[in-house]
């Protein structure tokens, strides 16, 4: 079953045109292509934070524009490439984001599990400002993973990681998401990683 579907001719800002795209439910799908071909823009349209100038995107058979944006984004979460962490430690950041979503804070055990999935086994008291770029990226991603969305949209989650850590992250993340029936759509510049971990690959700009 397709969780997302868009017909050929979908257009963003009357400039970027997309082919017919379908994404299977509970799959780990990669979107690849050269810079400027519309990868990140497609993620934003899937997240309903950007609208196409022409064409429609369907989620579980329903036109996105007919759905409640707030309710929809609780199911379909976009982890952007740019990391947004507040001052304070890891625990503080989890509490901040859960407060923004008006959800009860997680226990230390639940936070530790999410960190482990994202290969970020750091103490919850670790000061986020002292973490490296790659470490901050994984902590940020773990917050999204902990929310257990129906769909997780990832924009270059390994941009700040070396090859070894990138492989460890995708191995762990794919296993966890498959076990919990989370569909993943990931923009990635590394075709080798996409071919290794993707159930399918959408190549844009070809």
Residue-wise pLDDT for 71-93, tens only, equals 999 999 999 999 999 999 999 99
pLDDT score of 14: 86
pLDDT score of 36: 87
Residue in 23, 65, 60 with CA at minimum distance from that of residue 45: 65
Instruction: Convert the pLDDT of each residue in 128-152 to its tens digit.
Output: 999 999 999 999 999 999 999 999 9
High-pLDDT (> 90) share of the chain, %: 95
Residue in 55, 66, 50 with CA at minimum distance from that of residue 5: 55
Instruction: Convert the pLDDT of each residue in 18-39 to its tens digit.
Output: 999 999 999 999 999 998 899 9
Listed in sequence order, the residues at least 6 apart from 72 whose beta carbon sits closer than 8 Å to its beta carbon are 48, 59, 64
Instruction: Convert the pLDDT of each residue in 149-191 to its tens digit.
Output: 999 999 999 999 999 999 999 999 999 999 999 999 999 989 9
Residue in 38, 35, 13 with CA at minimum distance from that of residue 21: 38
pLDDT score of 206: 66
Buried (b) or exposed (e) across 111-136, using 16+ Cβ within 10 A? Answer: bbebbebbbbebeeebebeebeebbb
Domain ranges for the chain: 2-203
Instruction: Convert the pLDDT of each residue in 110-129 to its tens digit.
Output: 999 999 999 999 999 999 99
| Contact in structure between 16 and 38 (CB atoms under 8 Å) | yes
CA 89 to chain centre: 23
* 205, pLDDT greater than 90: no
Listed in sequence order, the residues at least 6 apart from 88 whose beta carbon sits closer than 8 Å to its beta carbon are 96, 127, 128
CATH of span 2-203:
3.40.50.300
The 3-state DSSP class for residue 105 equals: coil
Q: How far apart are CA 134 and CA 143, in angstroms?
A: 15
* Average pLDDT in the chain: 96
Q: How far apart are CA 23 and CA 1, in angstroms?
A: 9
């Amino acid at each position: 079953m397709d969780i997302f579907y868009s017909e050929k001719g979908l257009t963003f800002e009357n400039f970027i045109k997309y082919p017919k795209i379908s994404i299977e439910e509970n799959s780990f799908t990669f979107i690849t292509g050269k810079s400027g071909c519309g990868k990140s823009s497609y993620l934003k349209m899937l997240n309903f934070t950007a609208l196409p100038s022409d064409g429609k995107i369907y989620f579980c058979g329903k036109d996105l524009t007919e759905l409640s944006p707030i309710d929809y984004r609780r199911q379909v979460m976009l982890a952007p490439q740019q990391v947004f962490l507040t001052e304070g430690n890891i625990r503080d950041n989890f509490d901040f984001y859960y407060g923004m979503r008006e959800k009860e804070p997680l226990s230390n055990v639940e936070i530790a599990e999410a960190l482990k999935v994202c290969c970020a086994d750091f103490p919850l008291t670790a000061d986020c400002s002292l973490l490296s770029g790659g470490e901050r990226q994984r902590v940020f991603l773990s917050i999204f993973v902990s929310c257990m969305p129906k769909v997780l949209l990832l924009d270059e989650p390994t941009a700040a990681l070396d090859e070894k850590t990138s492989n460890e992250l995708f191995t762990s993340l794919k296993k966890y998401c498959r076990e919990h029936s989370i569909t993943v759509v990931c923009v990635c510049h590394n075709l080798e990683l996409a071919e290794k971990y993707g159930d399918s690959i959408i190549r844009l700009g070809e």
